Structure formats: structure tokens, C-alpha cells
Structure 1
């Protein structure tokens, strides 16, 4: 049997750190982005007898891991033990030790044994310890950052927040972030609600229970059909437009009719509203541009106006390209980059205004608490990159060559209008209002953001 231990300081009292771990969403916040994990069953959180079952993908294999929680000492520690899974033994103790300065020390101690005894240790012992070090270093940093973000607004009351697009790349992590911070999160789902944390709706037919939104404090809508899901046929473009505009209009109209509407409505938009503007530096005062995406974004933002007219604060979150190992553009690029077959797209001079998923979630949380932020708010990192610069950065992080160019003509031929708009055009966008309101980015540097998402040290 082997023992692994990782320690770090957290900027809060033990009680605060324990409560963060005990709330729904902690597992999702602590699951590293490079692991492919699917929760299949969950009973409770970390109290004695609570269980969690998830599937861990390893290439073509799917490994089932069932964990049972034991020995929970309120405010001090808890333990999870593997009931079945890839290890011969796994017992993980989480401790929150008080420090003299009022902060605490987080201690993760794992007693584990690999299968197949001495053979398993000989074949995988060192690799397992390296994997555990990588995992827990990442988890401790994620915990520290989340606790710091919540501490900024700890004196404010906890909110009841309704979220649309909760199953998406940003929405899923936002739900987990907010619930671990003590907020009451309700998800809009396109099926019958399974419990009181869900609200059923169907934007295509106008179905939404208005009473379920009454007296909520905020609504955040991040839903929309993927713009990169295939060539932009007429039908596809209609679905992209309708999924954004109709759902936002339904929410906005419903909020405007409520007797007790929310104080805040945050609705996703995108930097595509600015159109293709070369190297012009764009901010929230810049006029919209031309093209399909700009048209959709203008209609998308206009759909939220009725809620604003009724007195609700409305902010349109103009998101850049969200970088995540779990999905989106970065996940799609990785196989080609890892194969050493990537390179600039076209001439590589088009700008890409990006933001790390970690900062996208934190920025939405920040805007939620800033009553002065109304109208458009750019959610992009402060240093946009050209396509050539992004290619060089990702190739460098992965230690792979990235010199194989993709000719613009081939992209247009293969992907049509979608390829032109998403790969060969771009925007150089600055997060002016976000920075002016005091938001601090965790990942202002592209290389830092990529290393964090991929779990790669410098």
C-alpha cells in the first residue's frame, strides 16, 4: 500500500472550506478538464453514507468508480473510499486544519494500492504518483481560486439564480461554481423537471412556467445552438438564429410580466457582433459589423430589451472564444496539434479574442454583483491573439511542431461560409468595461490559460 499527501494554504477559515466541499457542484469543480468523467449516480454530497458513481474514460475504455463517504467530522474533515473502481484500494481523507492567522491548511491524504500487487507497482507505480501530484496540485489551485472569488462578495446575501444553457460548456461550470458558493441554483431544462432544482421549458413552443421565475434574484441565459456544428445551410442558420433569439425573447417577455421580477438578467451574446474588423481594437462602444453572426447577435441582444424596459438590469455578455479542454474550439484543435499537423489558417493574421473557461465563469459572477454593468460587456481576455500567435502558443505548450498551413481556399471549399466566418475572420476585442469595474483575470496570458486547461506545467 502507498500513501500520497498534498498540502496547501487556503485564504479562509476551515468552516468555509469545508462548506464549499459539502455543497452540490464541488465534484464538478474539482474534476480536472483533461479527464473525461461522467457522473452516473449521486446520493447526497460528503456526509456519512453518501455515494457517488462516475465513469472515467481511458481511450476506448470506460472505468466505473463508485465512492462512499465515511467519517465526516463537520467543519473539520471527511473521507471517501472506493467501493469499486480501478484501484485495489483507495481511501482519501480531506482535512481542513486551522492556522493561527485565521486561514486554514487543506490536506488531501490518499492510502491506495494498485491492482496486480508487485507487478502493478512495477508497471504503474511512478506514473500513478505523478498523475496524483498533477491532479491534486490542480484541485488545490482551483479550490483556492474559487474561494477567493466568493470571498469578494461574501458579505452579500446568497441569491436564487435561474440558469438557461446549464448543460453547456460554460453553463455547467457556472452552475457548479455558484452552488458551491452557497447560491440557490435552478436549471432550465428541456424535459420534465426531475426535482425542485430544475424548471422545465420549451422555447420552441413558448412553454415556460412563469411562477417558477417569480421572486428569483437573477436569471442567466447562456443557451444557443453550436455555430461550429456543420456547414451553414439555410436550415442550420435558421436553427442558430432561432435557438438564441426565441429563447431569449421568451425569457425576457416572461420576466417583464412578473409581479416580482429579478433584479438582474444576464444574457449571452458574442464578439461576432463586431464582424470582421482586421486589427481594429474594439470595445463596447464600437458599432456592430456585417455578416450573419453580427446579425444574429444584434437580434439576440435586442430580444432582451423588454426585460430592461420593465426595470430589470440587463447585461449582454459578449463572449469570445472560450478555451476549455472539455469542449469548444480548443478541444477540436487538440488532435491535429498533437499529431504535429497543425499550422496557421490562411495568412494567420486574423485575430482571435479568447477567454479561459475559468475566467469566463468568474467574469459572469463578477457582472452578477455589479449593478453599474448594463448593456454590452465584453468577456474576453485582455490580450487577443492572431491565429498565427495562437498556433505558435498551443504548439509550444504541447511541444509539437505547428508549421503546416491550411490554405484559405481549401477552408472555404470544405466549410463554406462557416469556415470563412469562424476560421478566416476575427475580431480584436478589449474587455474595457470588465477591467474598469475591477475584475482581475486569473489567466491574462494565453500560454498560462492553455497550460491550466491542459494540466501542463511550465
Structure 2
């Protein structure tokens, strides 16, 4: 038997504006939850937005796999009447039926009531037991999903209200990464034009083709771009062998140097006015104890500190051409979709988590939505310059991190976790510089730019990204 589910979201923004936000390319990635049990992974973008006939492919996490195993889900958009409603229906997926009608109603105050109406039917009883999707579980999951979507929509619209201004053309390297994909989506829903730098891609229709390894990038492709954002680089979640170190370093420095050379060859009148490039709090070295770190301090010791210093140095070459340069020194980005948190979730959910390596090290963390918001904020800023620590204002010790996240999952965090496991996987050096690193950074300079955090408190951030706040 089909269930009827309804969820209401009241917003202060006018209906035309809210509906237009949903029409833009980044809406689906911004509304898709990172936790399991529902459509939580966009595997193929909509063929034609939310217009009738447009199809989108997603993934549904298999319960108990912590987002590592997905079942395909294909949805097709049906009837619509802008700005009043649009619909989508599951064509292929793990449910017996799914139809979603998105209604947009004007409120007397001039705002918008978004009324989500879902008709859903789970599988026949035998398949239901195999999939773990019962009617009761489904209703609970729908509540979590739509509560998450409300927070995302409300937060994103408030971000757009705070960043009203001219629509920019932004070229983005690393657009498919954990951070880059969300930054692009946030910028696109704000009406900005995002052109993705794609290796081996063909320039045209939102793409700029380049090949950093071969040093290929046509300067003409950057003419008329307002801001260049580069977040790309080889993963550091690997053993620090000589070969891997070279790859980590050169993937960042060489690609940034290529961008700088290309920018310098663009005629001055058409040249990008700003270059925003990634970095990390690892700039300060491995373990600075309880020292509060500021942007003005020199780089610390260690491989990743050297990488960050060289990466930033390469970016600042653009200043010769009159281009403003911003370095985003990223903290530990929290999302169940990847990064630091994802490999820890199975142990935490099983109640087998606890202080890692003693638990005394400082962790300067930031939620994925604030990370995306912070980068977008710096991209849209007209006067930001130099390095910025981008992390929540309240760093915590690792033992408190484990206790808070496990508490959100209603699990204890009392089992000490030695570093032997990470060392076996990553080796001593990589473990020391990543898993066991300690950074307590000051973010006053970034706060002075006027950015407003969504989650300054670790518990609130964890409740949001794990879907534990209804």
C-alpha cells in the first residue's frame, strides 16, 4: 500500500526567487543528503534541469554500508507549472513507487511555502526484508531527508541574500572533488556561471579543457573570466613514497603555475581579477602542541607543510599581473561522503570508537557546507587577499571529537584507538602528518571578512550532516 508523506518549509524569500533557485544546475547536489538510506548520491546530472522529461540518476545507500554501496535510482521529471510546482517520479530504483510533487505557494507576508508531497510504496514483503526498507523505516528516513533539505535550502538562500551582486563567470579546477563539487553547486544556485576545468576535456558548454601534466591551457579560454578557483590535487590519503610525494606536490604546484602563466597571457582588460587557490592548515607542520596558529607565522616542518608553502608560492606568481590572490588553508572537512569522517563511521556506529592515538591532538574542523560557503564567500569577495585559515571557530581535541560524533550516533566512545591501524595502511610518515596531526588555528582573519558560519558547534554540525536532527 502506498504511503502519503508531506513536509512544509516556510521561507522569507519570494516564490519566484525560490522556484528559480530550484531550476538552476546546482540545486540537486545542494539538496541531496550525504547520509545513507535515501537518494544520497548524484551519479548523473539532470538532462534538462527540472523541465518535463528531464532524467537524473542517483544512488541509494544500502543500509549498513555507510554510503559505500549504492543501488541505482533513475528519476524522470513530469508535469510542471512555473513558479507553482514541478514533479518527479522514480523510473528505476529500490522502491515499488515514488512520486514527488514540489509545490510553491505565496505566503501573506510575501514569502514562500514549499510543500513537498511524496507518494511512496516499498517493495513486496520478501524484497522489503532483504533491502531493510519497511514502511516505518521509510517514513523515518523521509523525515530525516526533508528536514535536511529544509536546512540546506534555508541556509543557501540566506547565503545568496548576503552575497547579492553582479553575476560572475568563474573557472574552477578540482570541480569534481569533495569540496569543489559543492562549491560549484552553491555558486550555480546563486546564478553565477561556472566553467569547469576538465583534464582532456573539450572547451565549450561550461567546460574549459586543459592538461596540467602536459602544460596545456589556452589563455583565450580564461579571457572574460572574473575569478579562477583551483582546488585540485592528488589525494594525500596514501603512503608517502617518493613517487606519491612527487605526485602530490606536482599535481598542485604545476597546475597552479600553469594557471598563472595562462592568466598572464590574457589581455589586461579581459584578465581574471582574482585567483583563489587551495591550501591547508598543514602549512604549519605536524604538531604545534597547544600553540594558537595564525596566518602570519612561517611554514612548519614536514612534507605537507612544504607542499602547502610551494603551492601558495606558485599562486602568488599571479600578483605580478595585477591579480589578487587568495589561499584557502582548509581545516578537516566533515562529511560522511568522504574525508576524515567517512572511514571512522563504521567503528563509531558499532560503538568501537574512542580517542585516536591518545586523543590530545587538536582538530581544526569545518562542516562541508561551511567549507563550500567559505570558499564561495572568498570567491565573491572584492577585497579578500592572502592566506585564510578556513575552519570553524571552535577547534576540539581529538578525544572530544570522537566523543561528540559518537554521541550524535548514540554510541559510546571509550575504546582507545591506537595508530597501528593507520600506520599499517598509510605508513609512519603519512600517519604522522595526516591522521595524527595537531593544528589549533585562529580564524579571526576569516571572520573579519564577514562570513557567517552555519555550524560553529561540532555537535550541531554532526547532527546536520548525519541527519540526526529532525
Greater CA deviation, 307-316 or 84-93?
A: 84-93
Q: Write the deviation string for residues 312-362 of structure 1: whole angstroms up to 9, x where unpaired.
A: 111000001111110011012112222322222223211111111100111
Alpha-carbon distance in structure 2 between the residues aligned to 1:83 and 1:270: 42
Match in the other structure for 1:21: 22
Distance apart, 1:119 and its partner CA? 9.8
Given that 2:98 and 2:118 are in contact with CA atoms closer than 8 Å, whether structure 1 keeps it comes out as yes
Distance apart, 1:52 and its partner CA? 1.8
* 1:353 aligned residue (360, 364, 377): 364
Match in the other structure for 1:172: 181
Distance apart, 1:268 and its partner CA? 0.4
Secondary structure of 1:297 counterpart: helix
Distance apart, 1:205 and its partner CA? 1.0
How high is the TM-score relative to the length of structure 1? 0.94
* 1:422 aligned residue (425, 434, 453): 434
Q: Are 1:126 and 2:136 an aligned pair?
A: yes
Greater CA deviation, 242-251 or 421-430?
A: 421-430
Match in the other structure for 1:441: 453
Q: Are 1:102 and 2:114 an aligned pair?
A: no
Alpha-carbon distance in structure 1 between the residues aligned to 2:126 and 2:353: 42
CA 1:193 to 1:336, structure 2 compared with 1: closer, same or farther past 3 Å?
A: farther
* 2:75 aligned residue (67, 70, 91): 67
Given that 1:325 and 1:331 are in contact with CA atoms closer than 8 Å, whether structure 2 keeps it comes out as yes
Match in the other structure for 1:208: 217
Q: Write the deviation string for residues 30-89 of structure 1: whole angstroms up to 9, x where unpaired.
A: 110013524246320111222223332414864332222222111221111222333333
How high is the TM-score relative to the length of structure 2? 0.92
* 1:337 aligned residue (336, 348, 358): 348
Alpha-carbon distance in structure 1 between the residues aligned to 2:56 and 2:423: 47
* 1:140 aligned residue (150, 172, 178): 150
Alpha-carbon distance in structure 2 between the residues aligned to 1:291 and 1:63: 42
Alpha-carbon distance in structure 2 between the residues aligned to 1:52 and 1:409: 43
Match in the other structure for 1:455: 467
Secondary structure of 1:383 counterpart: coil
Unpaired runs of 5+ residues, structure 2, are: none
Match in the other structure for 1:3: 4
Alpha-carbon distance in structure 2 between the residues aligned to 1:64 and 1:423: 33
Distance apart, 1:195 and its partner CA? 4.8
Alpha-carbon distance in structure 1 between the residues aligned to 2:344 and 2:460: 17
Unpaired runs of 5+ residues, structure 1, are: none
Alpha-carbon distance in structure 2 between the residues aligned to 1:89 and 1:437: 47
Secondary structure of 1:322 counterpart: strand
Match in the other structure for 2:261: 253
Given that 1:11 and 1:148 are in contact with CA atoms closer than 8 Å, whether structure 2 keeps it comes out as no
Distance apart, 1:172 and its partner CA? 0.7
Secondary structure of 1:273 counterpart: helix
